[in-house]
């Protein structure tokens, strides 16, 4: 893991040649949620394959480029296309872009994903603000010799998602008439969708939604002492007693339908960050 | 020659007349039991062929051979955790090596996060079951690789945590004036501490405490026909409804307190059950 630091520096150096601003936030766009990129005042676009040590995205409906620019008046970097464990990448590689965002100067990580809803009070198309997560991926991006330059050996996970940003996101949702839940995301490795028995089990251990991403990136964000806010778009309901075969086109259609609402929440959170940085001189130096 | 045979031979060559009867793995902060051992030989892990090295602060990384009371023991001061990147085979190599040296009992200790509300910080708990949520098997199915003819899939009716030793430990604890409740230990990969949602999930799975070690070691010992006696020191009781941050220094502090009970207990057990033969 000690060579990770150098890899992060090399990737940062490459990105800085194309874009020399300091991002306030890094954004990771999940399945079907790429259109948010259109809201960015783009200053630079870098293909993943050109960035040293970045893996390439192979998943359907994911692109593979880093978009740098302004959103809501804040400098941001956005990952248009993300990496998944089920594609075969090691988690250290999947999460390298988060470390790169941190070393470029980002204080906040915004993660989005498409997920299966297991809480029967949810509906397909709803958005859940992630309050907490359960890691059932069977792996962890921090396994290996710890590099203290990157973060602590045993990161505390009491609040992996920043409580203040969760509250801000829920407030923005209320003000914009958007249905937003607050719940628990469980991450599995995938790539197969879950069996009915697995849905019952995952629901039983306290999860509201299930997905195949996000948790590795958030663990690394906590390790990097970034403040994180996460949004899950419920793209299909996974109620074991009335389960239908998954339809990828339908899932992507629901993600696309939800995308404007998700964009409102993401831009709302960034606007909140901007007003926060105006009203406070000691912005975003939360010690974790 | 297999890895465990290489390391065992290397150790035997240096202490040819020493046959340990008990193997001890000293977990977080419990290294002080090693001070009670009259050493015959102390080997740093990096000297021993094939041995993994410990990278964690607070783990010394020594194999101590010597007498605890009058009982010959081999003690691991520091262990190789999966979160450091070791494979199951690498991290459990010392257990297989100690088995080759002839141990009849494996004593393991660890620091854990308490899930059961019956426990308090600093509490010592006897592990009577475990939940393996490490997503790695402790059992290597390749006989050639692990090199023991008896290797196979363990009898599922056999207890990893021997009921006879559980009862003996309970009785000795009462004699020494403290209670030693039993509990189910859930092993995770780590290295991050658990989220609130994970603590709640593990409680529903039946776990009383959670930690990042022990499970591979006791599975391998069981596979080799060696009973395990495992102690978990609850270094902080997780309260997911009122979470507080866990610091590694707190963990070390609670471990120091618990060893005032466990060290006399282990000494007493060895005196009673290993010196009369």
The range of the structural domain enclosing residue B151 comes to: 3-274
Mean pLDDT of A205-231: 97
Q: Cα dist. B68→B33, B42, B71, B79, B156 in Å?
A: 9, 14, 5, 20, 33
Per-residue pLDDT 10s for chain B (277 aa) are 788 889 999 999 999 999 999 999 988 656 788 889 999 999 998 889 988 876 655 556 889 999 998 999 999 988 888 998 888 888 899 999 999 999 999 999 998 989 998 888 888 999 999 999 998 865 554 444 444 444 455 555 567 899 999 999 999 999 999 989 999 999 999 899 999 999 999 999 999 999 999 999 998 898 888 999 999 988 877 777 776 666 677 767 777 778 888 999 999 999 999 986 5
pLDDT value of residue B60: 63
pLDDT value of residue A136: 97
Cβ contacts of A160 on chain B, cutoff 8 Å? 195
At A124 the three-state DSSP class reads: coil
pLDDT tens per residue across span A39-74: 999 999 999 989 999 987 665 555 689 999 999 999
Range with the largest mean pLDDT of A23-37, A71-85, A164-178, B44-58: A164-178
Instruction: Name which of B195, B244, B245 is nearest A160 (Cβ-Cβ).
Output: B195
d(CA B113, CA B90): 25
d(CA B145, CA B220): 14
Buried b (16+ CB within 10 A) or exposed e, B81-117: bbbbbbebbbbbbbbbbbbbbbbebbbbbbbbbbbbe
Mean pLDDT of A231-254: 89
Indicate which of B53, B191, B205 best probes the interface with A, i.e. most A CBs within 10 Å of its own CB: B191
Question: Is the CB of residue B249 less than 8 Å away from at least one CB of chain A?
Answer: no
A32 or B108, higher pLDDT: B108
pLDDT value of residue B147: 42
pLDDT value of residue B150: 47
Instruction: Name which of B82, B191, B201 is nearest A154 (Cβ-Cβ).
Output: B191
Catalytic residue among B54, B109, B124, B236: B236
C-beta separation of B164 from B171 below 8 A: no
Residue A25 pLDDT > 90: yes
- Kindly list the structural domains of chain A, giving each domain's residue range(s) and its CATH number in brackets, ordered by start: 2-276 (3.40.50.1580)
DSSP code of residue B161: B
Catalytic residue among B213, B222, B228, B232: B213
Task: Report how many domains make up chain B.
Answer: 1
At a CB cut-off of 8 Å and minimum separation 6, what does B183 contact? Answer: B116, B119, B125, B126, B127, B128, B208, B209, B232
d(CA A25, CA A17): 19
Q: What is the mean pLDDT of chain A?
A: 90
- A26 to chain B nearest CA, in Å? 22
Please indicate whether, in this complex, the C-beta atoms of A206 and B82 are within 8 angstroms of each other.
Answer: no
Q: What ipTM score was computed for the predicted complex, to two decimals?
A: 0.84
Mean pLDDT of A188-201: 93
Place of tokens 């007498």: B67
Percentage above 70 pLDDT, chain A: 93
pLDDT value of residue B270: 94
Q: Which of B43, B192, B184, B22 is nearest to B115 (CA)?
A: B184
Please indicate whether, in this complex, the C-beta atoms of B55 and A146 are within 8 angstroms of each other.
Answer: yes
B212 part of the active site: yes
Q: Cα dist. B248→A45, B236, B255 in Å?
A: 42, 11, 11
Instruction: Name which of A139, A144, A219 is nearest B192 (Cβ-Cβ).
Output: A219
C-beta separation of B85 from A139 below 8 A: no
Q: What is the 3-class SS of B185-223, one letter each residue?
A: EEECCCCCCCCHHHHHHHHHCCCCEEECCCHHHHHHHHH
Cβ contacts of A143 on chain B, cutoff 8 Å? 82-85, 189-191
pLDDT value of residue B255: 72
Please indicate whether, in this complex, the C-beta atoms of A156 and B192 are within 8 angstroms of each other.
Answer: yes
pLDDT value of residue B156: 52
Q: How far apart are the first and last CA of chain B?
A: 33
A153 or A282, higher pLDDT: A153
- B194 to chain A nearest CA, in Å? 6
CATH of the domain at B66: 3.40.50.1580
pLDDT tens per residue across span A250-262: 888 898 899 999 9
d(CA A137, CA A156): 19
**Number of Cα atoms under 13 Å in the Cβ half of residue A198:** 16
pLDDT value of residue B61: 86
B236 part of the active site: yes
pLDDT tens per residue across span A97-152: 999 999 999 999 999 999 999 999 999 999 999 999 999 999 999 999 999 999 99
């Amino acid at each position: 893991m000690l060579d990770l630091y150098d890899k992060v520096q090399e990737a940062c150096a490459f990105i800085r040649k194309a874009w020399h601003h300091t991002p306030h936030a890094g954004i990771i766009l999940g399945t079907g949620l790429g259109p948010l990129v259109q809201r960015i005042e783009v200053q630079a676009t870098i293909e993943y394959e050109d960035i040293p040590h970045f893996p390439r995205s192979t998943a359907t409906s994911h692109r593979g480029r880093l978009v740098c620019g302004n959103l809501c008046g804040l400098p941001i970097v956005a990952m248009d296309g993300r990496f998944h464990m089920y594609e075969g990448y090691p988690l250290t590689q999947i999460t390298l872009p988060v470390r790169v965002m941190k070393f470029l100067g980002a204080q906040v990580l915004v993660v989005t994903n498409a997920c299966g809803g297991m809480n029967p009070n949810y509906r397909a198309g709803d958005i859940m603000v992630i309050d907490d997560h359960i890691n059932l991926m069977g792996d962890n991006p921090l396994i290996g010799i710890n590099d203290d330059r990157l973060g602590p050996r045993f990161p505390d996970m009491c609040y992996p998602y920043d409580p203040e940003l969760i509250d801000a996101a829920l407030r923005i949702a209320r003000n914009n008439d958007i249905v937003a839940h607050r719940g628990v995301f469980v991450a599995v490795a995938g790539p197969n969708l879950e069996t009915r028995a697995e849905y019952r089990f995952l629901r039983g251990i306290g999860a509201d939604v299930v997905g195949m991403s996000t948790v590795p990136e958030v663990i690394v964000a906590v390790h990097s002492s970034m403040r994180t806010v996460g949004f899950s778009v419920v793209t299909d309901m996974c109620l074991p007693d009335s389960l239908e075969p998954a339809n990828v086109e339908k899932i992507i259609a629901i993600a696309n339908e939800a995308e404007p609402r998700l964009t409102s929440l993401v831009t709302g959170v960034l606007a909140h960050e901007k007003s926060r940085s105006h009203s406070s001189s000691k912005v975003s130096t939360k010690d974790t | 020659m297999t890895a465990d045979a290489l390391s065992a031979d290397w150790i035997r060559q240096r202490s040819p007349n020493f046959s340990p009867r008990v193997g001890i793995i000293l977990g977080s902060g419990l290294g002080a039991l090693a001070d009670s051992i009259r050493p015959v030989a102390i080997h740093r892990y990096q000297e021993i062929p094939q041995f993994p090295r410990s990278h964690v602060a607070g783990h010394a990384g020594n194999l101590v051979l010597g007498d605890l009371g009058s009982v010959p023991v081999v003690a691991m001061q520091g262990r190789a955790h999966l979160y450091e990147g070791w494979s199951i085979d690498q991290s459990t190599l010392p257990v297989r090596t100690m088995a080759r040296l002839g141990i009849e009992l494996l004593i393991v200790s660890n620091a854990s996060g308490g899930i059961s509300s019956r426990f308090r910080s600093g509490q010592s708990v006897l592990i009577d079951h475990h939940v393996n949520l490490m997503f790695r098997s402790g059992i290597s199915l390749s006989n050639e690789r692990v090199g023991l003819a008896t290797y196979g899939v363990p009898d599922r009716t056999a207890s990893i945590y021997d009921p006879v030793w559980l009862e003996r430990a309970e009785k000795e604890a009462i004699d020494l004036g403290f209670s030693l409740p039993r509990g189910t230990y859930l092993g995770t990969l780590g290295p991050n501490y658990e989220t609130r949602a994970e603590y709640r999930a593990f409680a529903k799975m039946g776990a009383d405490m959670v930690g990042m070690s022990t499970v591979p070691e006791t599975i391998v010992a069981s596979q080799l026909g060696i009973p395990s006696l495992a102690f978990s020191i609850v270094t902080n009781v997780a309260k997911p409804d009122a979470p507080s941050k866990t610091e590694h220094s707190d963990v070390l502090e609670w471990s120091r307190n618990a060893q005032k009970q466990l060290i006399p207990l282990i000494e007493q057990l060895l005196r009673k059950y290993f010196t009369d033969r």
